Amino acid sequence: MKAIVLDRYGPPEVLQLAEVEAPTPASGELLVKVAASSVTTADWRIRAAAFPGILWLPGRLMMGLFRPKNRIPGGEFAGVVAATGDGVTKFRVGERVFGFCGHGGNAEYLTIAESGAVVRTPDGMSDQEAAALPFGGQSALIFLRDFAALRVGMDVLILGASGGVGVYAVQIARAFGARVTGVASGANAAFVRDLGAETFVDYRTEDPAAGGRLYDIVFDAVGAFDYAKARRVLKKDGAFVPLNYVGREILQSLLARLTGGPRLVIAVSGDSAENLQVLCDMVAAGQIRPVIDRTYPLDRVAEAHAYVETRRRRGAVIIDVAEGSPA
C-alpha cells in the first residue's frame, strides 16, 4: 500500500510517500481502507519533535528518542471497513467508519481496535467531513465539558477561535448555552461570528485582557495567555484551560490549588467512541459542523504540514487519501 513515512524528525520534507506492507487485522481489530485523513497540530509537532519546555524529554521518550517510533503519521481517519479480525462484533465489512487512531492515518489502510475511538460515519457526512472531527472536536469537547465544567449561561473567552481546535470550541460552548467571545485576527471576524461567537476580538488591534469583562472560562488553543494574564479576566471560581503548556504552567497549576482563585487546568484529552458519538449527535442536531480549510492529496502531505505549521488555518486540513493514491 502507499503511505507517508516518517523515518527521522525534521522539517516537512522528511515526510516521504512510499510503498509499504499493508497491515493485517489482529483479533478484535478492524482493517480500514482509508478515504481521508488529516494533518493536525499534534502531527506537525511530532514530526518536528517540537515538544515545548520540560515536555521535550517526555515527548521524545513517548514518541521515539532518536527517531519516530510510529513510522506512519496521521491521527484522524475516515474510510470503509475492509476486513475484520477474529471476535469483531460491532462492525461489518463495508461499513463506513471514522475515528482517531493516533498514528497510521496517512496511508491507504490502517488497523484499529473495534473498542477504540471509532464509530460509524453518519449518513450524509462525507469522509472528508468525518476526518475533520476527531482531534479538534474531541479536544474542545473534553476540555470544556469535562475539565472546565462548561455550563449554560457561562461567559467563555476562546483564544485561537479560528484554528483547528478553536472552531469546535466556539461551536460547542455556544451549543452548551454559553456566551462566547472569540479571539483571532481581524480577517476571521465574520467567520468566527458565524461559528457562534457573540463577541469578536481582533488580537492584532485589541488586547483580549482589556475592557474589564470577566469570564468563567478562558480556553487558550494557541498559547496566547499565561496564567497571570488569564487571572486578570477570570472570575474567582473560573478556569484557565491552556492547550499548550510547559513546566511553568504545571507549577502554577499546583500553586493555584494551594492559594485558591481561578483554576489552571493541566490535562490531556482522551479519545473514545463515546465522545465521537456525542460529536455525531451534535452535528445531526445542527449544533456543530465540521470545518475544513484545505484538502491535499496524499503525495502532498509535506505541503499540508508546512501550511498547518504556519498556524493560520481555519479549521481542519484534510488529506484525500483516495485521490493521492490510485489503486
Q: For 102-124, write each residue's pLDDT tens digit.
A: 999 999 999 999 999 999 999 99
Q: What is the CATH classification number for the domain harbouring 51? A: 3.90.180.10
User: Tell me, what CATH number does 149's domain have?
Assistant: 3.40.50.720
Domain count, the chain: 2
Average pLDDT over residues 275-288: 98
Residue 284 located in a structural domain: no
Cell of 165: 481546535
pLDDT in the model for residue 292: 98
Placement of cell 482493517 in the chain: 31
The full DSSP string for 231-256 is HHHEEEEEEEEESS--HHHHHHHHHH
Domain shared by 60 and 142, yes or no:
no
SS3 119: strand
Each residue of 25-35: pLDDT tens digit? 999 999 999 99
Domain range holding 120? 2-133+290-324
Distance separating alpha carbons of residues 296 and 106, to the nearest angstrom: 11
Residues 128, 140, single domain; the answer is no
Distance (Å) of CA 131 to CA 134, 157, 184, 261? 7, 27, 24, 39
| pLDDT at residue 325 in the model | 42
Calculate mean pLDDT across residues 143-157: 97
Q: Is the pLDDT of residue 221 over 60?
A: yes
Instruction: From 264, 298, 315, give the residue that closes a domain.
Output: 264
**Residue 304 domain-assigned (yes or no):** yes
Q: Is residue 16 located within the same domain as residue 123?
A: yes
Same domain? For 26 and 118 the reply is yes
Nearest to 321 by CA among 113, 109, 44: 109
Statement to judge: residues 201 and 256 lie in one domain: yes
State the average pLDDT over residues 57-83: 89
Q: Give domain status of residue 67, yes or no.
A: yes
Rounded alpha-carbon distances, angstroms, from residue 43 to 50, 68, 101, 107, 132: 10, 12, 12, 14, 14
Residues 166 and 249 in one domain: yes
Residue 104 and residue 148 share a domain: no
Q: What is the mean predicted confidence (pLDDT) over 306-321?
A: 96
CA pair distance 222, 182, nearest whole angstrom: 12
Q: With a cut of 80, say whether residue 262 has pLDDT above it.
A: yes
> Could you tell me how far CA 198 lies from the centroid of its own chain?
23
Shared-domain flag, residues 206 and 311: no
Nearby residues of 90 by Cβ (< 8 Å), 6 or more positions away: 114
User: Does residue 269 sit within a domain?
Assistant: no
Note the pLDDT of residue 320.
98
Per-residue pLDDT of 152-182, as tens digits, reads 999 999 999 999 999 999 999 999 999 999 9
Dihedral sign, Cα of residue 297, residue 275, residue 110, residue 312: positive
For the entire predicted model, the pTM comes to 0.92
Same domain? 187 vs 167: yes
**Cα(105)–Cα(109) distance, integer angstroms:** 8
